[in-house]
Amino acid sequence: MEFLGYLVCSVVFLILIRGRALFRRRRTLPPGPTGLPLFGNLFEVGPKPHESLAKLAKTYGPLMTIRMGSRTSVVASSPEVAREILQKNDEACSGRIVPDAATGQKHHYLALVWISTVEQCRLIRRALSICLTNQQKLDTLRGLRHKAVGEMIQHVSETRDRSLAIGELAFITALNMMSNTCFSVNVAGFESGEAQGFLNAVKTIMVVDGKFNIADVFPWLKPLDPQGLRTKAKVAYGWLDDVCDGFLTRRLKHRESNLPSYGDLLDSLLDYSQEHHESEFNCKNIKVLLGCGWKAAVEKLGLGQDSDLFQNPFAAFIPVHMQGYDSAVQKKLIEKAKLAAAAEAFTVQQTEQNGALRCSRKELKSVRSLNRRWTQWSALKWKMPR
């Protein structure tokens, strides 16, 4: 009993000390909702922070303090305040809190999105401007991208008698265009499952990065990794890191042998690292930069592969001006397209002898129902694309 009493007193004492420290800090911070003792404003923000923060801003103003667990943040919710922070005080506010799942990436502190020093960030952005986004460099690498497209056309011509998965074909082609730009080689074949490894790794990273992590609001839980998100991210990041590390190691051996240069992105980054001091931009930076580039590219390509156009071809019949409507309206438009296709495909043949319809009454009733529903859909004043 005495031990339990000491434990309760210790917990109450720590809560009081913590509350006093928070009270003193809040006097120098902008106003904001009080929140609960341990959780802060976690429940007030909820699963839709953009909506809840907009409502709180109407009460506490364009600059307010929000406490998420053990994290205290200042939220700007007006163009004027955002301009003051991002333009006039950008260097002072350039630091970011790295999510716990992102630390699963090896050398994550060198990634452009999480880098802390302004000079290092400028150096990497300059490297990208010279080696990748330069128009002259893109024109030089055009032949490598055309090579991947030519291989796709050849594969389609060779398999003209078989059905093709258009989404998978487009994903592999774009993936090989990216790999040729970076390494001058293909990383996936049309008949192999190598592309699925990239897709699985990036999807895992997207899932763990998008999930709410209790360790982000209570940092003292990070060593425990209660949801296992950092462990899953570490495996996925490790897979991408091994791919980039293999290409980088082979390229360094190739350059040591004084063989002709490929002239791709990897060669440009290695040349750029030689021009600058090794402590500023080295192989670690290159590996992290390539890994982040692969993640961004595969994420974009993977989302395109899983889009409604590949999963539901009738989604292409939705007019552009109605693509912003809610899902219920889009489902009705897709149903209309299906009805039109069914009515067009259903043909009723007549016999030459008695002119009788060669279809059952049930089939005839189905055709009439299709025509009647098609007439109802025509009231939307929407035409099928030719």
Q: Please check whether residues 290 and 355 belong to one and the same domain.
A: no
Q: Which domain holds residue 69?
A: 25-93
Q: Please check whether residues 187 and 243 belong to one and the same domain.
A: yes
User: Residue 349 has what pLDDT?
Assistant: 40
Alpha-carbon separation of residue 312 from 156, 301, 303, 330, 333 (angstroms): 22, 17, 14, 12, 12
Residue 105 included in any domain:
no
Last residue of a domain, one of 281, 311, 341: 311
User: Residue 232 has what pLDDT?
Assistant: 93
User: What are residue 88's phi and psi, to 5 degrees?
Assistant: -85, -30
Q: What is the CATH number of the domain that holds 231?
A: 1.10.630.10
Mean pLDDT of residues grouped by 10 in the chain (386 residues)? 57 56 63 87 88 91 90 88 85 81 89 79 85 82 86 85 80 88 88 81 87 90 92 92 91 90 89 78 88 82 51 44 50 56 45 42 52 51 42
Residue 5 included in any domain:
no
Q: Please check whether residues 86 and 154 belong to one and the same domain.
A: no
Residue 86 included in any domain:
yes
Q: Please check whether residues 176 and 307 belong to one and the same domain.
A: yes
Decide: 123 and 273 in contact? Cβ < 8 Å.
Answer: no
Q: Please check whether residues 161 and 222 belong to one and the same domain.
A: yes
Overall number of domains in the chain: 3
Q: Please check whether residues 203 and 70 belong to one and the same domain.
A: no
Alpha-carbon distance of 374 to 30, in angstroms, equals 59
Residue 113 included in any domain:
no
User: Residue 7 has what pLDDT?
Assistant: 59
Q: Please check whether residues 301 and 152 belong to one and the same domain.
A: yes
Last residue of a domain, one of 288, 311, 334: 311
Residue 29 included in any domain:
yes
Q: Please check whether residues 249 and 280 belong to one and the same domain.
A: yes
Q: Please check whether residues 341 and 280 belong to one and the same domain.
A: no
Decide: 270 and 286 in contact? Cβ < 8 Å.
Answer: yes
Residue 237 included in any domain:
yes
Q: Please check whether residues 134 and 210 belong to one and the same domain.
A: yes
Q: Please check whether residues 174 and 133 belong to one and the same domain.
A: yes
Last residue of a domain, one of 274, 296, 311: 311
Alpha-carbon distance of 133 to 121, in angstroms, equals 16
Residue 356 included in any domain:
yes
Q: Please check whether residues 322 and 271 belong to one and the same domain.
A: no
Residue 6 included in any domain:
no
Alpha-carbon distance of 221 to 227, in angstroms, equals 10
User: What are residue 350's phi and psi, to 5 degrees?
Assistant: -110, 145
Alpha-carbon distance of 21 to 99, in angstroms, equals 25
The pTM of this model reads 0.69
